[in-house]
Structure 1
Amino acid sequence: MISKRAMSMGASLFALGLGCGFGATEAMAQEQAAPNAVTAADIVVTGSRLRTTTFSTPTPVTALTSAALESASPGNLAEGLKQLPSVVPTGGQTAGGGTRAGGQNFLNLRGLGILRSLTLLDGRRFVPADPRLVTDVNLIPQMLVDRVDVVTGGASATYGSDAVGGVVNFVLNRKLEGMRYTVSEGISQRGDNQEFKASLAYGTKLGGIGHLILGGEYYDGTGVNGDARDFRTTAPNLLRNPSGAPTLVTGTDIRTPYTLGGLIVNGTGGTSANNALIRGMKFAPDGTLSAYNYGTLATDVGVTSGTQNGGDGYRVSTGQEIVRPLKRRSLFAHADFELTNSINLFVEGTYGWTISNFQSSPTTTTLSIARSNPYLAQVAPALVTQMTSLGVTGFTMNRLTMEAGPTYTGNENTALRGLIGLEGKLGGFKWDVSYQYGRTDNHSPTYNNLITANMARAVNTTRDSSGAIVCADTLSTNAATRAAAAGCVPLNPFGAGAPSAAAMSYVMGTSVFDTRSEMQVADANISGDLFNLPAGPVGMALGAEWRSAKATTTADPLSQAGAYRLVNQQNFFGQYNVKEVYGELNIPLLIDKPFFHRLSASLAGRHTEYSTSGGVNTWKAGLNWQISNDLKLRGTISRDIRAPNLEDLYASGRQNNLTITDTLTNRTYTAVPNQTYGNTALRPEKAITKVLGLIYQPSWLNGFNIAVDYYDIKISDSISNIGGQTAVDQCNLTNQASPLCSFVTRDATNAVIATRTSPINFSSQQTNGVDIEAQYRTTLRNEARLGFRLLASYVAHNRTLSPLITNPVDDAGNMITQSSGVAQPHWRGNLIANYDSDHVSVMLQGRYIGGMIWDKTKVVGVDTDFGSVGAQFYLDGEISTKFRTFGGEQTLFLNVQNILDHQPPFAPIITGATPLPTQPDLYDQVGRMFRVGIRGKF
């Protein structure tokens, strides 16, 4: 039977909002087996700096053990966390496009964005992954993680800036003794997405004067290619209807007008009618001409960009991986040394390395070809004759250039972190001081990146006096033109494989930039009981923190000149420092009174001084009301902030590519370059967060608990990136009169050829909803343990208000969000069942994702023929068996995710770098996934 002490411990944790669940079931079993384990009084609850017991914090906190998270997602703790309803899946290996952050894992609480979610390691900030100062969870020592606390209320007064959506705190097992390991292999049912993971953790006492823990991990995932699933190769999506209403219609095979050998878009130099006579011809691999098939619903006839259903051209959706490959390795060490009976020295070191090489969008380019081009005369003399008779002097040609292979980006990150500090006791108070330095070095090359000016020179060919084909600019009478064309190699663009290797080397290059992001943190904290009131002791925590962050980026000269088709990162430098002081009180008000079994208040305040934007205050007030042994009410109100990060302030022109839908020309443009710049005038955004909840633990049903919390978050002075599609839309709505029109560049035909994006304090955001957490656990007659846990979240509203939005759209339940950035169905939930005996354990998890309107701004039948995405259900499971050998306990396990092999729904993404047939963050794209392995401890 489970001990009364263990049951009391579990009840205490749930009363704190720690949501014991199956992670806690395991923790309780360990508690029973280890009489000297930590007691409830020793627990530091994330969400508060106070070291208190059951009645500690009114802020909801969900705790999960690393074992529970590993069962949910054996490859990565972050992927397990993303299954929580309060954590909105964002990025990671299934990112939907772009050249940034490939394989990195960031957490997004409440759907407010990764920049408003603070990730901590043992209550301290971790090394920043990039100039946005976010934390890559892949670099945290996962084998040494004891539990993860997820705070889903504002916590800026307690932990500082960025905790608007909440805090995720990875708590290490600093008292580990012995060795633990995990080795696993994974593969999808379709033979891809292969994974290998090996982890090791070790802890030991140091001769009675201290304790040492060590951890290491290696992971290798091969990913899934972009054409490895039917839903990608058939490429369904929505495209603009050239015939009128509805504006967007469903297509089964979306393509854009680029071919490997080249497609003549339109003639130039002649009359409109004559120019049109040579359009729509494509060059076969051997250079011969044939008619291009525009399929149906074509908006690309005679223009350089557009879409079509079926026919020739290439499928955009297969251009990037479904799951990006990833390798990572990490090492971690922590040591405590007892200097005196009341003072300990602790040191900590972290090394992490990740790399992901992933495909970018295929190299598409539009070329200007002169009738006099000698390569054209070789492959299509009849066309040259026709052009001459028509008075057509040249043509534009779309080409998919793949002779050098696909364009792909490398994202390599190396993180180092060192921490040293002292901690101890002073009377009834506990204190600690520490200093840490951390840095991440990011190396990001983009291979086979087209040098656009070189391509233009290379296809502009002529013959020299000897009759050899050369680049025309090398014979120019202008000295500057000749100098720029030095080394030019003529390129034959007519037919797949036609360009020579030397020509490809001339037009393709490797853009590269290196970024170092650094952070130093010094802090001091003290906590304890000040004095006693009739209802109990008054708890206090005080502290101060100094933080300095800086980042430097160095890019290659061609990128700085904007020479490449992709990225073109500019040199960058930014820094700031922060000074903070905070205080926190827990005040017991009543105890053992009618209807007031216990009543306490918690107060917290923090003053923060930024070197860039001055001072700002944050605060929190909370109330805990234990009505009876069965029922508790809790509530908080807080003021939280998110300060602009280094990239917000100092970004110097990083380029990404967008798909732009333009109502002015009624066309869709793919691969539109967008440059992002910072804004040093930004101010911290501010939020008011309210949480009201209850916890019910009925005495008549032992082992059952339920917690229900309502939250409401309102953000003002929100920092939002404005530009790209938003700039195009606003410019069109104002008949080209909006100031944002300066963010849009058009050519002579009004086609959108470039956009700009910058952050501005100009909007506000509001979200509210309800979190539900329930569990039931019991012990069976055979001493086995059975448990059920429900985690559910209902998002009622998520609105962004700004001067640019005339009719704000509620993004809750809206897949194509207007401003919030990520899709949030009204309902998400997990139901987990766990059976655990001495020899066999079984876990089943059902994941529910509610249905959504596809786009609330669209009217079905007028704007689109597609209206909604249905609810989805996924089933995961793990079975394991335990046995004792080699002096320890070993566990063999088989984990299967997406047991039912449920395929992703049609949920089209029509914008971004790569239009996709489904939402890549929210829905499983891999299908049934198997992992088998062994876990052990000695």
Structure 2
Amino acid sequence: MNKRLLRLRAGAAHLAIGLAVVSFPAHAQDVAAQNEPEAIVVTGSRIAQPEIDSVSPIQVVGQEAIENSGVTNIQELLLENPVFGTPALSRTNSAFLTSGTGAATVDLRDLGSDRTLVLIDGRRVVAGLPGSSTVDLNVIPTQFVERVDILTGGASSLYGSDAVAGVVNFIYKKNFEGLIAEGQYGITERGDDAQYRGSVTFGGNFADDRGNIMVHMGYTKQEGLLSRQRANTFYDDADKWAYFTGDPADFGTSVTPYFSSFAPQGSFLAGGRTFTFDANNALKEGFSTNGPNGDGVGADGFNRQYYRTIAVPVERYLFAARGNYQVTDAINFFAEGTYANTSSSRQIEPSAIGSDDIFKSSGGLVPIETRVNGAIMLNPYVPAAIAAAATDEDGDGLRDISFSKRLSDLGPRDGSTSRDYYRFVAGLEGDVFDKFHWDVSYVYGRTSETQQSNGQPNILNFANALSAVQDLGDVNNNGLTTDVICASAEARAQGCVPINIFGFNSISPEAAKYIAAEQSYSTRITQQVVSANLSGTLFDLPAGGLGVAIGAEYRKESSRENWDALTNAGLNAGNALPDTRGSFDVKEIYGEINVPILADTPFFHDLSLRAAGRISDYSTVGTVYTYNVGAEWSPIRDIKFRGGYARSVRAPNVGELFTGASQTFPSGLVDPCAGIGLTGGGAIGDNCRAAAGVLANIQQNGVFTVNQADRQGISGYDSGNPNLKEEKSDSYTVGVAINPRSINALRNLTLTVDYYNISIKDAIVAPPRQFILDQCYGQGEQSFCDLVDRRPSQTAINSSGSLEYVDAPLFNGGKLKVEGLDVAVAYNTALSAFGADGRLSGRIAYTRVFDGYVVSVPGADKDPFAGEVGNSKDRFTANLGYGVDDFSINFTGTYIGKAYEDDQLLAAYDLDPHAIKIGSEFYLDTQARFKPTEKVEIYFGVDNLLDNKAPRLLSGTSFNTTGTDTAADVYDVFGRRLYTGVQFKF
């Protein structure tokens, strides 16, 4: 019944030696050995056959490993496996993002989350992030999962686009009968980030066992952790070299505490003189607000860490149901439905604003005087000393100042996010001639997100509120002529409230309300998939059955995201963010074949060849082809050699294709035309002089001249590109799997060693703007010159021909490569052979990364990431478990090898790539379980038993996660954590 459903028989001969990480239940092999093999399908092949496994390496995380982990979100367990890289999104790295807060993603081989395909029972899952294919693992009910198959290596020919780095396939429980209820509570040793989990799963058969239905309801809550709750993150620790020039030996030394010079009392520049307020709110000239130098009187700068977040809170509600019904002896109906609601919130420090954020066109000059009926009136809020120092700096006859201020009166910047996920599956399956299995299914998925954020200012209202005068004529008709009003009658009609920016707590609640800009964001992602598959044995050959699988699939995906109008226009002190919407569809056919060549002959216990191919027709990139070939050779039953090659693709997603222009203000760009004269300069000189504005500048100044304002005034737009093509990858794997079943004491030992090599070309990247300029003027590449706009010759002489916009749309120009070795060992045995009671099991999975690098654009140097923080070359996870009668205990160790700072950052300061080293870390977790009765099990666990402290990474370095003083997405930021739970089974 329902043979198409993915299964794993622990005793299946070939399958067992293909596993790297699996928890074997006691006596599972003995029981399985007594049964006849049945047709199964495992991740990595679509052929339903007895005893078939994938040529590509597969690791399996079993139900026992899931239960022993005590995790609230399955992402936490998967990240212990060394084949996974640093997650793009997690609770500990999403507080500062404009979207995606609290999402949980995975990333095989550190090649990007969009290059890891996530499946449920072999079928696609709708994305959790708009514009992408990245799945949010918050939608996976951990207690509903039977096991997780992790296929590493390209698999697009079997599963379609996005399986460039591999596949993570969540296999749900099936045909479940009974009831399981569970509750768990956990908290850190320091009494924070409390976590709660509760679930009920029940199921049973009906209609004389022709049908089965199973239902799961779950709830989890993680309370979160603020930076101020921990002593080591109460203050920001900054890297001195990131803010100062000097001796490179100072790199990595810290400024502690590092306070922001954007202070709540404000800092003001008038007539070349600086003013601020001391702790008593008294105006002082030249008084330090305690910026990067860490000195100043009484530490009057602002402690941003007080408001920052180490881990965002996440709350989830999950409901899942699945069932099947045997309509006839040959046809089975199956259905599945899942709903998940994930809510999260974030908090960071109050907004820091400078007058150049409000008055960009005037270079940040704020007039403190206003013309009213021909008279010039001073803003009454301006202190006398500042007014006396101010001068007319732009020639309009009004005195100006500039300022910076922390908007503490608006409160912290915070936001709440709610995501709703729906997924429905329905289909039919059956057998034909007892040789083939078929299935037809329809999948519908939808993710919706709403987000509300506060703490940002409305720039237009702020500008109106800064233009304030005394109401001498009582224009507001309140009977007073001493109060302060907005100068603009139009602004007053729209509710303008004048604002006082001078000093602590200077902004009135009414003014704060007037300038506050609530930010809203909403998304909707939909996915529809119709697929049909047929697999089985075509006919028998001398060495076994010729296995085949064919199928077809149609998929349509759409995504949209909408920001509020102020965010669209960049009028809330941030860059403009565009709305994005788009869709695509794809029609696909695939085929797979497994050809047994030799069997049960000397030196060829088994020899078989495998191949698969897929043709995909996208509405966006056209027709693409993917394929793989592989071979397996077992000289004897206990040893299998395997190897394979795969060509995979990743089609561009909605965001990469259709994202609108988002303005940015790059820094550090060097204009190739600087210093070019009327003659000379080679190709660069000729290309520069071809621009009218540049030529006019040269004619006026002798050589092309730019000033500081020109350099700071460069803008540009990042955007998608509807002309993108697919990424292509080539992956090679060679390995051996050993299961010495002929030796009784070692029959439950498995050892796998696999070499992998994955390279990606035509990777979708945004070209660095300096590269764009160099290619345009140095190489004359017109496609890059089209991305550059210069100011016309009619502008002010020194700005004539200066760079105004350098745009950077996505294009197919990058390369990625990763190469390494996976070694995995698993063993379990009854201790009775050694004269003891109980059963002992152990497993270890180790990964050594030989090489890993990115080439950002054609012709650029390799940027290695292997060995840097988050990409340690050596990683392993190991598990040791012991069980006897009604008691069991389990230990899990996770090792992260030494790592280094980003070589590109170090090279910028002429430092050796290994100048800053972060030592290795070993985390130890343990859990004990006890069954006081047959139906009740109690468990206790400790994570980070050794209470390891996360390595210190200073602000300003490459891998620091803001607010945590470490790489919080790599290292444990919580310390020792304890949890306990109870499980009832009926």
Q: In which range does the TM-score fall when normalised by the shorter chain?
A: 0.7 to 0.9
In structure 2, distance between residues paired with 1:384 and 1:592: 97
In structure 2, distance between residues paired with 1:284 and 1:611: 63
Q: 2:729 aligns with which of 663, 687, 691?
A: 687
Deviations, residues 474-523 of structure 1 (Å, cap 9, x unaligned): 15xxxxxx469832211111223211111111111212122111111000
Displacement, 1:319? Answer: 4.8
In structure 2, distance between residues paired with 1:73 and 1:568: 42
Q: Which runs of no fewer than 5 residues in structure 1 stay unpaired? A: 1-5, 300-306, 476-481, 816-822
* Preserved contact between residue 720 and residue 760 of structure 1 (Cα < 8 Å): yes
Letter in 2 for 1:811: F
Deviations, residues 870-926 of structure 1 (Å, cap 9, x unaligned): 111111111121122xxx522211111111111111234636994863112111111
Displacement, 1:684? Answer: 0.7
Q: 1:721 aligns with which of 766, 769, 775?
A: 766
In structure 1, distance between residues paired with 2:320 and 2:882: 33
SS at match of 2:310: coil
Matched, 1:792 2:840: no
Letter in 1 for 2:263: T
- The aligned residue for residue 648 of structure 2 is 640
Q: Greater CA deviation, 307-316 or 834-843?
A: 307-316
In structure 1, distance between residues paired with 2:971 and 2:804: 32
Matched, 1:41 2:42: no
In structure 1, distance between residues paired with 2:751 and 2:521: 51
In structure 1, distance between residues paired with 2:536 and 2:297: 68
In structure 1, distance between residues paired with 2:579 and 2:877: 45
Displacement, 1:109? Answer: 0.5
SS at match of 1:219: strand
In structure 1, distance between residues paired with 2:911 and 2:786: 24
SS at match of 1:80: helix
SS at match of 2:616: strand
Q: 2:561 aligns with which of 553, 559, 567?
A: 553
In structure 2, distance between residues paired with 1:599 and 1:542: 23
In structure 2, distance between residues paired with 1:733 and 1:57: 45
Q: 1:71 aligns with which of 64, 68, 81?
A: 68
Q: 2:508 aligns with which of 477, 500, 508?
A: 500
Matched, 1:878 2:927: yes
Letter in 1 for 2:902: D
In structure 2, distance between residues paired with 1:663 and 1:914: 29
Q: Greater CA deviation, 503-512 or 8-17?
A: 8-17
In structure 2, distance between residues paired with 1:484 and 1:572: 35
Letter in 2 for 1:396: S
- The aligned residue for residue 479 of structure 1 is none
Matched, 1:260 2:261: no
Which residues of 2 match residues 400-419 of structure 1 at below 5 A?
Answer: 400-419=406-425
Distance 1:382 1:483, change over 3 A: closer
Letter in 1 for 2:812: N
Matched, 1:892 2:887: no
Displacement, 1:826? Answer: 0.5
SS at match of 1:875: strand
* Preserved contact between residue 813 and residue 858 of structure 2 (Cα < 8 Å): no
Give the TM-score normalised by structure 1.
0.87
Matched, 1:167 2:173: no
- The aligned residue for residue 93 of structure 2 is 95
- The aligned residue for residue 903 of structure 1 is 949
- The aligned residue for residue 447 of structure 1 is 454
SS at match of 1:213: strand
Largest Rg, 1 or 2: 2
Q: Greater CA deviation, 617-626 or 913-922?
A: 913-922
- The aligned residue for residue 650 of structure 1 is 658
Distance 1:454 1:745, change over 3 A: farther
In structure 2, distance between residues paired with 1:39 and 1:116: 38
Q: 2:863 aligns with which of 795, 809, 814?
A: 809
Displacement, 1:332? Answer: 0.8
In structure 1, distance between residues paired with 2:969 and 2:590: 37
Distance 1:859 1:639, change over 3 A: closer
Q: 1:510 aligns with which of 515, 518, 534?
A: 518
Q: 1:490 aligns with which of 498, 503, 510?
A: 498
Displacement, 1:377? Answer: 5.4
In structure 2, distance between residues paired with 1:67 and 1:673: 55
Distance 1:279 1:38, change over 3 A: farther
Displacement, 1:291? Answer: 5.1
CA RMSD of aligned residues (A): 3.7
Displacement, 1:453? Answer: 2.2
Q: Greater CA deviation, 281-290 or 218-227?
A: 281-290
In structure 1, distance between residues paired with 2:807 and 2:63: 43
* Preserved contact between residue 287 and residue 379 of structure 1 (Cα < 8 Å): no
In structure 2, distance between residues paired with 1:309 and 1:840: 62
Deviations, residues 555-586 of structure 1 (Å, cap 9, x unaligned): 33333333223475433320111000000111
Distance 1:8 1:653, change over 3 A: closer
Matched, 1:619 2:633: no
Distance 1:284 1:742, change over 3 A: farther
- The aligned residue for residue 312 of structure 2 is 324
Distance 1:897 1:869, change over 3 A: same
Distance 1:310 1:173, change over 3 A: farther
In structure 2, distance between residues paired with 1:675 and 1:229: 39
Deviations, residues 509-552 of structure 1 (Å, cap 9, x unaligned): 21212211111100000111001111000111110000011123
Q: 1:926 aligns with which of 950, 963, 974?
A: 974
- The aligned residue for residue 676 of structure 2 is none
In structure 1, distance between residues paired with 2:898 and 2:138: 31
Distance 1:56 1:450, change over 3 A: same
- The aligned residue for residue 551 of structure 2 is 543
SS at match of 1:322: strand
- The aligned residue for residue 244 of structure 1 is 246
In structure 1, distance between residues paired with 2:335 and 2:388: 79
- The aligned residue for residue 398 of structure 1 is 404
In structure 2, distance between residues paired with 1:323 and 1:83: 18
Deviations, residues 375-432 of structure 1 (Å, cap 9, x unaligned): 9755733343344799993332111112232111222111112221100111111100
Letter in 1 for 2:266: G
Q: Greater CA deviation, 526-535 or 312-321?
A: 312-321
Displacement, 1:587? Answer: 0.9
SS at match of 1:196: strand
SS at match of 2:757: strand
Which residues of 2 match residues 101-180 of structure 1 at below 5 A?
Answer: 101-129=100-128, 130-180=130-180
Amino-acid identity (%): 29
- The aligned residue for residue 819 of structure 1 is none
Displacement, 1:86? Answer: 0.4
Displacement, 1:652? Answer: 2.2
In structure 2, distance between residues paired with 1:829 and 1:743: 48
- The aligned residue for residue 844 of structure 1 is 891
Deviations, residues 57-114 of structure 1 (Å, cap 9, x unaligned): 2111111123313433521111101111001131211115312211111110110100
Displacement, 1:469? Answer: 5.2
SS at match of 2:309: coil
Q: Greater CA deviation, 598-607 or 805-814?
A: 805-814
In structure 1, distance between residues paired with 2:908 and 2:620: 48
- The aligned residue for residue 677 of structure 1 is 719
Displacement, 1:783? Answer: 3.9
Give the TM-score normalised by structure 2.
0.83
* Preserved contact between residue 218 and residue 329 of structure 1 (Cα < 8 Å): yes
Displacement, 1:624? Answer: 0.7
In structure 2, distance between residues paired with 1:389 and 1:600: 85
Which residues of 2 match residues 654-673 of structure 1 at below 5 A?
Answer: none
Number of aligned residue pairs: 891
Deviations, residues 727-782 of structure 1 (Å, cap 9, x unaligned): 36876999999959968999999999999653211111111101111122221134
* Preserved contact between residue 99 and residue 409 of structure 1 (Cα < 8 Å): no
Q: Which runs of no fewer than 5 residues in structure 2 stay unpaired? A: 1-6, 356-364, 371-376, 474-480, 672-706
Deviations, residues 654-692 of structure 1 (Å, cap 9, x unaligned): 68x99967799999x99x999642110110101011000
Matched, 1:50 2:51: no
Distance 1:321 1:346, change over 3 A: same
Letter in 2 for 1:761: N
